[in-house]
Structure 1
Amino acid sequence: MIQDQSESKKMTWYTLALMAFSTVWGFGNVVNGYVYFNGTQVIFSWILMFALYFVPYALMVGELGAAFKDSEGGVSSWVNATMGNKWAYYAGWTYWACHIVYISSKGTGGLRAMAWGILGNTNWYDKLPTYQVQLATLAVFLFFCWVTSRGMTVLKGLATVAGTSMFVMSILYIVMMFAAPAINPHANYLTIDLNWKHLLPTFNVKYLTSLSILVFAVGGCEKISPYVNKVKNPSKNFPRSMIALAVMVVVSAILGTFAMAMMFSPKVINADLDNYISNGAYIAFAKLGQYYHVGNLFMYIYAWCNVIGQFSTLVISIDAPLRMLLGSKEAQEFIPSKLLKLNKHGAYINGIWLVVVLSGGLILIQSVVPGSTQVMSQLVKLNSTTMPLRYLWVFAAYIALRKHRDKFKAGYEMTKSQGLAFTAGIWCFLVTLACCLLGIYSTDTFTLILNIATPIILIALGLILPAIKRREDAAKAN
């Protein structure tokens, strides 16, 4: 009877699928895809990315989740079980290091959202000297580092509310955009031309170096792995949730692209690319409000949801990856003891200082970039080349899982064929790595240097810390 009551409290597979969808997907992914891939031409790329990458990725996560349903550590736990604690440290380090760039973009994004929410545009904000904007961004970043060090959790609760509201706004945009012609038939809508010319992309250098944007957009479903054992019949229902997630993301991406195509011409976007990368979502909601005769109402709602979302995510991104890395028993033997220091509020204070140095340094370096819109555009691209590196560990863990198939019994398998399983794992690993490496390329020298230097510095630091730990242990032994 107790077991039945416990089972009744567990979530259904479709609840988990919706939770994963709101975590993985957002309106920004639709905008970035449309902007970077010349309008409706992104549909071909979305379909290709979903069929050859996202669907096997989601199914692999489903199998890993089913195999390690009692593990709540996510990717690091999977790597530890299949490859050992040293590799688990590197997986945890990669996850944390990728967030260094992400953290610096949250402050920038939050201030831009505030400009839209207060002024209704970014004309004044974008005219400010870049160093002033970056100093303001640094001040915001340092404030939220202090908030994190004090163990304040109120913004973590707001992150859930903001994330849900942003998800709702994303779906509403699609629904309301398709309904707009019936509400306001005389507004200026664009006709969607679905001939082959407007759907097939041009496979050039720009296309190949932008694929990391799509990989970044569809990745991250492994973040819900801690909820595996909170689902009814996890071996069966967790993979089912991953399949439902894949379907919802496919539908949202394609319908969102059609909605954008009714509103924006690719020629207009390409003529002012940095502006649309930085402000495209706000411009879209402002136009939507005009169609419904409510002015900038939708844009203001979206902007303030984004303000809360950006700043609350900033706190979580400082705190959660750090706790995953430094709080892992497997990783602690590779990390110097000074980084493991907790303050009276239970925060890893020296770890936070390391974040301050790295993310703060990145914010200051970008003071030399000519214009805040270009800073935002640069961060979007840098995130797309660094954040997907953490997905590599998912595929590495999956390959290791299938290699030791007899040792780890999963209630669900993506495929019974070992050859097909290894091919899928290696394929997704290579696609991720290739897209990240290609995404580094830029015609702008400063951006290129930043894209190369950032991952090198972070990887080097991850290799140096175990060496410091060994020296520390040797000193204690003597």
Structure 2
Amino acid sequence: MQDSQKKIKWYSLSFMAFSTLWGFGNVVNGFVFFNGIQVIFSWILMFALYFIPNALMVGELGSAFKNEGGGVTSWIRATSSDKLAYYAGWTYWACHITYIASKGSGGLKALSWMFFQNAEVYDSLPSLYVQLATLAVFLIFCWVASRGINPLKNLATIAGSSMFVMGILYTILMFAAPAINPNGGYLSLDWSLDNIIPTFDLKYFTSLSILVFAVGGIEKMSPYVNHMEGDSSKEFPKAMIFAAVMVVISAIFGTIAMGMMFDPAIINSDPATFDSYAANGSYWAFQKLGEYYGVGNIILIIYALCNVIGQFSTLVVSIDAPLRMLLDDDRTNKYIPRKLLKKNKYGAYINGIKLIVVLAGSIILAQILVPGAATVLRQLTKLNSITMPLRYLWVFLAYIFLRKQQDKFHREFFFTKNQGIALFFGFWCFFVTAACCALGMISDDPVQMALNIVTPFVLFALGIILPMIRKREDEKLGVK
């Protein structure tokens, strides 16, 4: 009886995957960066050609390494070497540096909306003041993490769940609004072929990293593949495909709901307006929803509160958890300089946190020169879409290594038994991810482009330099 209770039904795993992967922010970013309802075409292609193959490859990896708890780092170690596993772990941690830099700004933006219920107060502040306040918030949470006190950790799950619910609620309420308030002033959608097929120009391809970032992260589901009720080779793909269908439905209907509110022509009218929508679009959406239902800003305030808790709790978790994943592993931390492995009396990696302060703090301070708080948030969203998907490259590399040695590793679940198809999709998803990240670096904004290129380069270079420092330390100590 106890064993059966541990088994996960396929539809339970589908909802777990859906709630973990998807959020209202993905709908807003897709709508803003891809010219309104034109993004629907891109969402469908992304799910069919990237998300589903990715999910099934992760399922096979999870089945092959069901006893490994380190995720992609463990997969790389098992299929290659400890040194390559270190680089996988480093990439996962380094990607969070830009993510950490954006959480403080996001939290302050949400706080401003919660109290003032408008975009103007925050966006009109000089970048100097906004970034100094962001730096102060960041340093406070680094101090919290260094004391071993993480009071917001438990709130991260609650906030994530509430944001997920708010996103679903938005779509449902928006579709019901015309029946309840026929005179709300909704926009009519143009479903002509010219309006729903995107223009495949440079802007389109340089924005694709936004969608890759949105649908990535399915590797979090890998531990559950061997805990499925029934035949995992049938139940896991069923769960992933159903999760993909739910995400597609959410993306399409969420986009349509936004299309009833916002005109893409206005969003793209000038760079300042675009930045403002990229930074405030989700808040305006909930504000308009409250107007349609005659409840003022109540729905907006609830959404902003959920976002405040979510942004700040995620900031704490992102400072602490990825650092521990990198430094706690004895097989990969042998490539880390000994000083970074130092713990304080609270059990926190104090020098590791100081390194985060330097790296993330530099990104925050670099944006003091950016004109406007809204532009800062747009830049950070784009930067995250370039750096965060870099960690997915290791998933596909691990899958390629696995298939090259497939007789060595037993697993119950296979993406496909055909070796050629398996390797094709492994290389295909690797190429798509790498190409989208590289193209995403291109920008008309010179500051944005510099940030997009310099940040990954510095993080990559640091990842190469640290093992050299550790090797020199070991030689001085006579350690082999």
Q: Is the 8 A contact 1:59 1:414 kept in 2?
A: yes
Q: Is the 8 A contact 2:146 2:346 kept in 1?
A: yes
Deviations, residues 419-469 of structure 1 (Å, cap 9, x unaligned): 000000000000000000000001111111111100000000000000011
Alignment of 1:456-475 (within 5 A): 456-475=457-476
- 1:159 partner letter: A
The change in CA–CA distance for 1:353 and 1:227 in structure 2 (over 3 A counts) is farther
Q: In the alignment, which residue of structure 1 is the partner of 2:245? A: 247
> Aligned partners of 2:320, 2:216: CA distance in 1, in Å?
21
Residue 183 of structure 1: which of 170, 173, 180 is its match?
A: 180
Displacement of 1:226 in angstroms is 4.0
The change in CA–CA distance for 1:469 and 1:137 in structure 2 (over 3 A counts) is same
The change in CA–CA distance for 1:83 and 1:233 in structure 2 (over 3 A counts) is farther
Residue 261 of structure 1: which of 255, 259, 268 is its match?
A: 259
Tell me the SS of whatever aligns to 1:194. Answer: coil
Q: Is the 8 A contact 1:72 1:225 kept in 2?
A: no
Q: Is the 8 A contact 2:59 2:225 kept in 1?
A: no
The change in CA–CA distance for 1:472 and 1:240 in structure 2 (over 3 A counts) is farther
Q: In the alignment, which residue of structure 1 is the partner of 2:58? A: 61
> Aligned partners of 1:360, 1:412: CA distance in 2, in Å?
44
- 2:414 partner letter: E
Q: Is the 8 A contact 2:208 2:436 kept in 1?
A: yes
Displacement of 1:263 in angstroms is 1.0
Residue 24 of structure 2: which of 27, 31, 34 is its match?
A: 27
Q: Does 1:108 align with 2:110?
A: no
- 1:469 partner letter: R
Q: Is the 8 A contact 2:337 2:473 kept in 1?
A: yes
> Aligned partners of 1:248, 1:307: CA distance in 2, in Å?
26
Q: Is the 8 A contact 1:155 1:315 kept in 2?
A: yes
Q: Is the 8 A contact 2:342 2:350 kept in 1?
A: yes
Moved more, 44-53 or 219-228: 219-228
Q: Does 1:421 align with 2:399?
A: no
Deviations, residues 245-281 of structure 1 (Å, cap 9, x unaligned): 2221111111111111111111111121000000000
- 1:120 partner letter: Q
Displacement of 1:243 in angstroms is 2.4
> Aligned partners of 1:452, 1:66: CA distance in 2, in Å?
36
- 2:154 partner letter: G
Displacement of 1:15 in angstroms is 2.5
Q: In the alignment, which residue of structure 2 is the partner of 1:453? A: 454
Tell me the SS of whatever aligns to 2:152. Answer: helix
- 2:196 partner letter: L
Q: In the alignment, which residue of structure 2 is the partner of 1:344? A: 345
Q: Is the 8 A contact 1:69 1:234 kept in 2?
A: no
> Aligned partners of 1:241, 1:94: CA distance in 2, in Å?
29
Alignment of 1:50-449 (within 5 A): 50-228=47-225, 231-232=228-229, 235-236=232-233, 237-271=235-269, 272-449=273-450
- 1:98 partner letter: C
Displacement of 1:33 in angstroms is 0.4
- 2:280 partner letter: N
- 1:122 partner letter: A
> Aligned partners of 1:338, 1:228: CA distance in 2, in Å?
38
Equivalenced residue count is 475
- 1:53 partner letter: Y
The change in CA–CA distance for 1:229 and 1:146 in structure 2 (over 3 A counts) is farther
Q: Is the 8 A contact 2:400 2:427 kept in 1?
A: yes
- 1:274 partner letter: D
Deviations, residues 92-139 of structure 1 (Å, cap 9, x unaligned): 000000000000000000000000001111312222111111010000
> Aligned partners of 1:119, 1:5: CA distance in 2, in Å?
52
Q: Is the 8 A contact 1:231 1:238 kept in 2?
A: yes
- 2:456 partner letter: P
Q: Is the 8 A contact 2:60 2:414 kept in 1?
A: yes
- 1:456 partner letter: F
> Aligned partners of 1:16, 1:344: CA distance in 2, in Å?
39
- 1:379 partner letter: L
- 1:357 partner letter: V
Displacement of 1:177 in angstroms is 0.7
Deviations, residues 49-92 of structure 1 (Å, cap 9, x unaligned): 11111111111111111211222211111111112211110000
- 1:254 partner letter: I
> Aligned partners of 1:411, 1:161: CA distance in 2, in Å?
34
Tell me the SS of whatever aligns to 2:329. Answer: coil
Displacement of 1:6 in angstroms is 3.4
- 2:304 partner letter: A
Q: TM-score of the superposition, structure 2-length normalised?
A: 0.96
Identity across matched positions, percent: 64
> Aligned partners of 2:266, 2:124: CA distance in 1, in Å?
21
Tell me the SS of whatever aligns to 1:154. Answer: coil
> Aligned partners of 1:419, 1:145: CA distance in 2, in Å?
47
Displacement of 1:151 in angstroms is 1.6
Q: Is the 8 A contact 1:166 1:302 kept in 2?
A: yes
Displacement of 1:311 in angstroms is 0.2
5+ residue gaps, structure 1: none
> Aligned partners of 1:364, 1:68: CA distance in 2, in Å?
42
The change in CA–CA distance for 1:374 and 1:234 in structure 2 (over 3 A counts) is farther
Q: Is the 8 A contact 2:33 2:207 kept in 1?
A: yes
Q: In the alignment, which residue of structure 2 is the partner of 1:37? A: 34
Deviations, residues 156-187 of structure 1 (Å, cap 9, x unaligned): 10000000000000101111111111111121
Q: Is the 8 A contact 2:63 2:222 kept in 1?
A: no
Q: Is the 8 A contact 1:69 1:235 kept in 2?
A: no
Q: Is the 8 A contact 1:13 1:240 kept in 2?
A: yes
